[in-house]
Amino acid sequence: MLAAAGQGDREAADRVFALVYAELRRIACRQVARSIDGPGATSLVHEVYLRLARPEALHVASREHFFSLAARAMRQLVIDHALARATQKRGGNVVKDSLDETTDLPGHLGDAERLLELDQALARLAALDPSLVALVEMRYFAGLDLSEIAQVTGRSERSLKRDWRKARLVLHAALEGGDLPDE
């Protein structure tokens, strides 16, 4: 079905979306729960669908690739929303808070300025190791836990935990304005 959707088959694309809608909604609910001021879960899922449903975006090779694309789309939507908030009134209703222990990254999804800093740190991390960025997107922006990511990617939780620790280390260093650690 993914291959047919990637070839432009609209019915296949709609069937794929129907099959993953509940999962995308669960991911979006996690994202919305961490956000102080952002789109609702339904709105976020529909925006992700609009981004993924374009024929050029549906060249999906596997379930892992699909969830990676969905996580990246959610990241882009959250960042776009943060940019819109940041350009309105500086310091408006921003509340600084830390994330829950399950993700343990600095900032809060309601803190537009800190979220934009995180996005820039992720861009720096991408130059070092793009696979770590994919992990952060799935974990932080899509809200998947390590066991879910292991199922999607086919990697062991142990290696994902090691990569998660490395990603957090690099991101904390980047967010504090320091040099990125070497490999």
What would the two tokens of residue 136 be? Answer: 């952060």
- Residue 38 clears pLDDT 70, i.e. is over it: no
Q: What angle do CA 6, 130, 87 make, to 5 degrees?
A: 85
Residues of the domain holding 91: 2-175
Q: Band the pLDDT of 133: cuts 50, 70, 90.
A: very high
Structural domain includes residue 183: no
Structural domain includes residue 37: yes
Q: 164 CB contacts (<8 Å, ≥6 apart)?
A: 135, 139, 146
Q: Band the pLDDT of 60: cuts 50, 70, 90.
A: low
pLDDT at residue 110, rounded to an integer = 53
How many independent structural domains does the chain possess? 1
Q: Do residues 113 and 92 lie in contact, with contact meaning Cβ atoms separated by under 8 Å? A: no
When comparing pLDDT for 10 and 94, which is higher?
Answer: 10
Return mean pLDDT, the chain: 75
- Residue 95 clears pLDDT 50, i.e. is over it: no
Q: Band the pLDDT of 158: cuts 50, 70, 90.
A: very high
What would the two tokens of residue 25 be? Answer: 């909604």
Structural domain includes residue 182: no
Cβ neighbours of 50 (radius 10 Å): 12
Structural domain includes residue 15: yes
Whose tokens are 């996005």? That residue is 119
